[in-house]
Chain A
């Protein structure tokens, strides 16, 4: 069996002419927790969408379980997606369904399990994220951290072999952050899954990830275990890890000469 469940090979992608990724190479070994880090707008979310087959690369390919995602038929992509669970940046819970029904949703759609079995499974998943007591609540009644955890329960409803988390820590208080952090590790090991975490929280990530990729300017700027990276003397990694504002990563979006823009002589 291929030791890597997801492989990204020389991948390029851009929206409307502006290239976002320019030749990205990554591998995600089975059973590991791998983090993708990079500044806002560096295309991390887009990378997850490429893995999920929601958009097609302009060059290169993504392979999931050895199959090239963008070459699959619609049914093929759907079949691959059933192996994936994804936590969206803002949870994306279905607002018209209760917590229970949100977690039950993938089961009802993809299995013919009897109601009693669905009930047991849903409560088990909710228990795993510590929210069994909230099964009757509606998504609007949950706090940010709780909603995130319900979304995790929904993402693991069908025991996926790949779990993708898009900024799971964004906007959480330190306690919820720790909870979610432990949760990711526990779920990964309990389910025997592979976790892909997109984030820019350096500290948390360095604490629990097995391997880390840094994305900048459309390429993998650095990679390694947390150990390697902490000791790395690459200026980029140094800047990111220690949150320095001066360094190779520019604060400004690529723009014309300031003076020319002010004078209105550029078009």
Chain B
């Protein structure tokens, strides 16, 4: 009796694991398919670039405030923590390098992408999901206009273009935050702060790699947000669940991709 109960529970557990994995693989495939369709339907996004500009405005400008404010605080915290550790070794002038490298290589792209997923990604998912639920996408199809090239692709490219710009702004404002903390507040020499930074931040290995990261995050976050919206069941509940999934999936994707990209970039 007990044995069979355990067996049933076990089978049920296995079954649900299998079910979830199949669903995951299926969704990944469907997402990739949408990604491919978006790429081959992108002509119009560039031919009529004002469509894309409009979306850059919505996604980029919408996220600007939260990203700049966060960057400022992250920069100051880096300054504080860096100073606290570096002064023990008597090298507090290196604080500029530390802040800049941490931001340009890691925190800039990663934190920007996480904030982007929460701010712009959710908005994209909700917008597309509602367009689907209210038959706007169907109506477009019936007007012989492809929703993928008219709605999905411009938003995709807008996200891909906006993300690196936002990440660069994040790093710049973060460095400013670190500077304001280290130089006027703590009293680190301003010349040392900047010159050490200039000497030790490499154009290709640090800055370019950071931009590449944020470009990849831009592709992932925007595509996930678009897919979740496009795939959402056309009901209020479906759209709200999709919005949550956008944040969860994007965050995991960003952190996972960051690990993969970093290990390639550091050549280990």
Contact = CB atoms under 8 A, between A and B. Distances in A.
Contacts of A78: 144
B143 interface: yes
A82 B142 contact: no
B136 A105 contact: no
Nearest to A81: B144
A78 to B, nearest CB: 4
B226 to A, nearest CB: 16
B57 to A, nearest CB: 12
Given A78-B144, A79-B144, A81-B144, A88 B139 contact: yes
A89 interface: yes
Contacts of B130: 95
Interface string A81-99: 1101010111011111000
B69 interface: no
A173 to B, nearest CB: 22
A171 B136 CA distance: 19
A210 to B, nearest CB: 24
B202 interface: no
Interface residues of A, number: 21
Nearest to B135: A92
A58 interface: no
A232 interface: no
Interface in B139-160: 139, 141-145, 150
B144 A86 contact: no
B47 to A, nearest CB: 12
Contacts of A105: 143, 145
Contacts of A106: 143, 145
B134 A92 contact: yes
Looking at A89, A96, A110, which has the most chain B CB atoms within 10 Å of its CB?
A: A96
A54 interface: yes
Contacts of A52: 141-142
The 5 closest A-B pairs by CB, nearest first: A92-B139, A92-B135, A78-B144, A81-B144, A86-B142
